Structure 1
Amino acid sequence: MSNQAINIEQLMERLGDSGVTILLKVDHERTAERRKPWTIVMSGPSMGEGEFLHTDCHTLDNCLEYGLGELRAGPGDWKWLDGLNSVDVERLLLLMGIQAIIDIEQLMERLGDSGVTICLKIDHERTAERCNPWAISMSGPGVGNNEGIYAEFRTLADCLEYGLGELRARPGDWKWLDELF
């Protein structure tokens, strides 16, 4: 087991640069039912023609362990993943625009507990084009009014700032978000 920490934002951007689209999701319904709330989906040309992976897990660590393991076993040069180990993941990100350090796993799980399904995605094609590769999507009863929140931005920080700002403007107790930012 490696003691090297993984920065989720950097990992996802590196995968995007390597031709992999990656989506991380926490599902509010599965959270409430105590089923595997985390989902990881990976696809793209670097994984081989027509190849993709999808799994649901109890934790972000389990999702990353599975996803990175599958990449290592597949075609392509994934040696740069050898030093990474999801069991020792440090999910702290310094988000320049927000000026705060947040734990992505804690944020996503707390949103799931609040009735919000959240997806964070980086798209390999948009990464190559340098055109808003990050996307955030939020839905579920916590979002209210059957209106979801969706946006695409150049950075994860911008996605989170927009998405959480939209969430704060909607009915509900979102004061706990202030603790994170």
Structure 2
Amino acid sequence: MIGRTGRWPKTDHSGGIEDAALLILEWLGEQGVNAMLRVDAERLAEGRPSWTFVASGGPLEVGMRADGASAELCLSLAVTRLRELGVDVPL
């Protein structure tokens, strides 16, 4: 992150991508991207993928959405999709 040295914590990379969720969201905001990670209790109760990540704006020409059964899967799919759309998420 530019201008904020020492802000990135030392993370245990074996802990999964969800450990970095807030850092990803904050970095996206700094790039002008509006983003949100959400869990839907009704979909969880129905056994459907309950986690959703949405993003729009900034360098994204169109909005994007990723759904997953866990926070880790949802964020992994979202980061992959963001990279396909040209947003090089630093993770």
1:108 corresponds to: 25
2:15 corresponds to: 94
Structure 2 residue 81 is the aligned partner of structure 1 residue 160: no
Q: What secondary structure, in the 3-state scheme, does the structure 1 residue paired with 2:55 have?
A: strand
Mapped to 2, the partners of 1:133 and 1:165 lie a distance apart of 19
Structure 2 residue 62 is the aligned partner of structure 1 residue 125: no
1:136 corresponds to: 53
CA contact (8 A) 2:18 2:71 kept: no
Mapped to 2, the partners of 1:94 and 1:130 lie a distance apart of 25
Residues 1:153 and 1:125: Cα distance change in structure 2 (over 3 Å):
same
Mapped to 2, the partners of 1:148 and 1:101 lie a distance apart of 21
Q: Count matched residues.
A: 79
Q: What's the CA shift for 1:166?
A: 1.2
Q: Which has the larger radius of gyration?
A: 1
Q: Which structure shows the bigger proportion of residues in strand conformation?
A: 1
CA contact (8 A) 2:38 2:53 kept: yes
Structure 2 residue 64 is the aligned partner of structure 1 residue 149: yes
AA in 1 matched with 2:80: G
Q: What's the CA shift for 1:101?
A: 6.8
Residues 1:101 and 1:153: Cα distance change in structure 2 (over 3 Å):
closer
Which sections of structure 1, spanning at least 5 residues, go unmatched? 1-91
Q: Give percent identity, aligned residues only.
A: 27
Q: What's the CA shift for 1:169?
A: 1.6
- What does residue range 11-160 of structure 1 map to in structure 2 within 5 Å? 94-95=15-16, 102-143=19-60, 145=61, 147-160=62-75
Q: What's the CA shift for 1:133?
A: 0.6
Q: What's the CA shift for 1:138?
A: 0.7
Q: If the length of structure 2 is used for normalisation, what is the TM-score?
A: 0.73
Please provide the CA RMSD for this pair: 2.2
Runs of 4 or more, structure 1, over 3 Å off, are none
